[in-house]
Every structure is written in C-alpha cells, then in structure tokens.
Structure 1
C-alpha cells in the first residue's frame, strides 16, 4: 500500500539520481488510487496532505520527464537505451527518439543537398572518346564537375579509381 512517506521517499530518490529509478510494481495505478482516496476524505489533515502529495508528485514527474528528454537525446546520439521506464514512459520515449531522429535526418539531408560535389582525377587519361562521342582528356589532380562526363562514364571511372568524389 502506498503512503505519503513512501511517495516522498520515491520522489527524493528520483531527485537525487541522474537516471530514472526503478519504480514499485503498479506504482502509477497505486498513486492514482491513493489520490482518489485522499480526495474523498474531507478532514483538514487529509486536505493538507493531499496538497503536499500533489506537489511531491508534480516534482517527481518533472524529474522523470527531464530524464526522459535527456535520455531520448542520448539514445539518438549513442544508441544506448535508458532503463527503468514505465510502459507509458517507454511509449513517450520511443515517440521522442523517432521525432528527433527524423528531424536530424531531414536537417542533415538538406545540408547534403547544398554541398557541391566534384571529382578529382587520380590517374591521368590521354584523349579518349566517351559514350556521347565527345573527346575527353583527364589530367592528374584536375578537379572536374560531376556533369563534365556522362554518368555511365563517371560510374566506371569511380569504380576503377581513376576519379574520386570530393566537395567543391
């Protein structure tokens, strides 16, 4: 059975720890039941205790939420999963990590689009006729644009190590 002192002890342990603490089985449902029971009692001591416990619960949840948000960022960066989350917290956690990953992927794909790529000639090639029937000559260390050569020729020269992709 959950008591005021037990709730306060759980909140203190949560506050003092950097990671989410393991909660007692059915803690959230027991907490709801405790609050409902206290709300039904009308003595001044119960009203005072109810107000205090609501403040403790608010601090407890704020602490857990902060750890959940920081954990989502940490997981996106490292792949390491946090421990001791309730089922509801896990649902929120996976939603947050998904949104953060999606945001990052979209942001960085936009940056990639803005980068200008080119090719650096690694091995000189004497004059030759490309598949488009144009004559080309490649000089070692020359930087050429990605559309200088026809795509099939680019692919072949990349595969053979004659050119390599670089940022302009």
Structure 2
C-alpha cells in the first residue's frame, strides 16, 4: 500500500486537469512514449514513523512533471510549446488549505508549499507531504494462537468474585 500517495496525487491531478494524460511508469516517461499534454508523477519515501499504536505517519516527496503541448502550424511540423497553466492546481491546493482528502483512498495529504522549476517544454513541481496510514490490529499473538476478545469481566470484593 506504499503507492497510496502516488495514487492520491493522480486523483488530485485528475480533479484539476481531467483532460491531462497521467504517467506513472518511469520507463514510458523516459522513452517519451506518451501523448501531450501529460504529467509524470513520481513519489519518494522520506520517512515512515510510528505515530500511534494504530497509525504510522508517512512522509514523502512527490514530483509532478507537466509536459506542454506543442503548437502545430501544419500537420507536418511542430511549433513552440504551449505552457500549461498551473494556477488551477495551486488555487485548488490553497482552497483546500494544503490539506487534500482523497475520496478514493481514505487519506488526507498534508502538503508543504511547492517548489517549481521551469524548462523549455515542461515544468517540474515538487512537494513534501505527509499522511497517516492505518496499521491493522494483529489477530494472532506471538505463539500463533488467535487473540480472544475479552467479553466477560469480573471484580473481586471482600474475597468474593462478581460478574461486571
């Protein structure tokens, strides 16, 4: 479930840019095997710490590489890149106060301010973000026998035992 952040970011990009192609496969991205305009999404785990006995805090970095579409004067030649407007993405994140809930995956991403880097035909946006990941409760103990729920409680008073 460690690609949960990657899937949540794909959901966010889909909300803001529904017509944009989303790439998650690094080999296809490096080969240039995609239709423009597109965004490549890659996450990198920074830290995985115990937050509570039932949840871990995951801290990751995400890189979004937005590839611009190209102007076409004729069908045969491509012109200059058409820059993609990133204002809708930043406006959406500000409206959400940089706390975006994933509707499909049940996590809330707490996002730090972005860093951008522009190139001729693309712009790279990087964020650091965190979310809580639920840790399942063990159903067996160390010996391998199932853990029984305690349904009956007893109290002792003056040497006598009473059901509670």
For the aligned pair, the TM-score class normalised by the smaller chain equals under 0.3
Q: Greater share of strand residues, 1 or 2?
A: 2
Of structures 1 and 2, the larger Rg is shown by 1
Instruction: State the TM-score, normalized to the length of structure 2.
Output: 0.22
